[in-house]
Amino acid sequence: MDKKTVRDVHVRGGRVLVRADFNVPLDKATGTVGDTRLRATMPTIEYLREHGAKIILCSHLDRPGGKVVEGLRMAPVAKRLSELLGTPVRSVRDCVGQEVEDAVWELKEGDILLLENLRFHPEEEADDPNFARALASLADLFVNDAFGAAHRAHASTVGVAIYLPAVAGLLMEKEIDSLTKVTANPERPFAALLGGAKISSKMGVINNLIKKLDMLLIGGGMACTFLKAKGLEVGESTVGEEQVPLAAHLMELISKNGTKLFLPTDVVIADAFSADAHYKTVPVDKIEPGWRIMDIGPETVKLFSAQLEKCKMVFWNGPMGVFEFPAFAEGTKAMARELAHLKAITIAGGGETLAAVEEEGLMDKMTHVSTGGGASLEFLEGKVLPGVAALQDK
C-alpha cells in the first residue's frame, strides 16, 4: 500500500483519534452485539495500546438520521469491545463538546475511550468542516481503520484529515492489500463468483476485472436477468426489464474477451416470496409461470464447485439466493463451504457475503473476508475511495 500506516508514525503519549467501523448488528432487546468488525479492528487498537497511545475511538452505528436515537447508542459496543480486549473501554454520550473534551484529557497511555454515534449529528454525513475540526481538536493524530466507510466523504473519514496527520490502521492496510491482489495481478486461473440482486451494482466490477478473469460464475437475482436475456422463462422472479439488455451486452462482452461464463443449470423455485412458501428444485428450462427463483440448485452447486476447484484465486461477492430465508440459504452456504476448502487465494466481499461466511464459522478458512460491502465493490471498480485518498502518502 502506498499510504502511511500507524507503523510509520510515533504514537507514544499522543492522543490518537481512530475512525473504526463499528456499524455492527445490535439486538436492541438483549444488547447483544455482533463482534466481527470489532475483532477486525482489534489489531490496530492493541498496537496503539502496546505503543503507549491514548486511544479515542469513533464510529457510526446504523442510520439515526442526524438525531439521537437511544437504541443506537455506542455503550453496548464499548461493553463488548472491553470484553474482547480484556481492558476497560469507557464510553461517553456525545462525540464533541465539553464532556468529551474532559474525558479525553483524563486519558492515560493505553486508555481507550469510545465516542458516541457520529451520525447523531447531521454534520457528520454532510462533511461539515466545523464538526470535522471539533473532532480533530481531540487528538494529535488521525488513524482511519474504517474501510467499510472509506467510500463515504464524511467528516470523520475525510474532513478530519484536513486538520490532523492522517494514516491507515492495520485493518485498512490489510483490506487494501488484499483487494489489490484482485485488481492488480491476480493468480491465474482467476474466477469471480457474483450474486446479489442487480447487475447494475456489479457492472463496474465486471468491466474492471473482465480482462483479468478466466471465468465468471453468476447466481442470485443477477442470474435471473441473465437467464431471461437468454430467452428462458423466469416466472415471477424479480427482473428489472431495463437490466435485460445490459445482461445481453455483458454476455457479448464476456464472450469476446474469452472469459468462460457459468450460469445456474438448476434452481430452487417458490410459489411466493416468503420464508414458508412451497418450493421445489427444477432445471432452469422448466420454470413455470407463477413461480420465482429463490436459490441455486444442487446441480449448480456441483457445477460451480467443479470450476472453482481449477482456480488459484477466487473473488466472491453476493449471495446465491434469498439468503435471509433459511429454506433458500443453502446455495449461498454451500458456496461458502466450497471456498473454505479450496487450495486457492479466496477473497470474499462484505455485506451478506460476510454474514454467510460468519454464519458457517468459516472466517478463518478464507484468505480474506472484507468488512466493507459497498467500499469493496467501489475499490474493485477502480474508483478512488475518499477515505483512502485523504491519508498521507508514504
The question of whether 374 is a catalytic residue gets the answer yes
Catalytic residue (one of 195, 220, 351, 373):
351
Catalytic residue (one of 3, 15, 19, 37):
37
Distance CA 289, CA 237 (A): 10
Radius of gyration, alpha carbons of the chain:
22
Q: Helices (H), strands (E): how many in the chain?
A: 14, 15
Look at the chain and count its residues: 394
3-class DSSP assignment, residue 207: helix
- Strand pairing report for 260-262 and 215-218: parallel
Catalytic residue (one of 79, 198, 260, 312):
198
The question of whether 297 is a catalytic residue gets the answer no
The question of whether 351 is a catalytic residue gets the answer yes
The question of whether 37 is a catalytic residue gets the answer yes
Distance CA 132, CA 46 (A): 25
Catalytic residue (one of 34, 204, 235, 374):
374
- Residue 268 pairs in a beta bridge with 281, 295
CB 290 within 8 A of CB 298: no
From the centroid of its chain, how far is CA 127? 22
Report the alpha-carbon angle 200-206-207, nearest 5. Answer: 95
Distance CA 39, CA 31 (A): 18
Of 158, 213, 218, 149, which Cα lies nearest the Cα of 182? 213
Strand stretches in 271-367, DSSP E: 279-283, 292-296, 313-317, 345-348
Full strand arrangement of the beta sheet holding 368-369: 260-262, 215-218, 190-194, 313-317, 345-348, 368-369
3-class DSSP assignment, residue 171: helix
Instruction: Tell me the helix, strand and coil percentages in the chain, rounded to 5.
Output: 40, 15, 40
**Which residues are tagged catalytic?**
37, 198, 351, 374
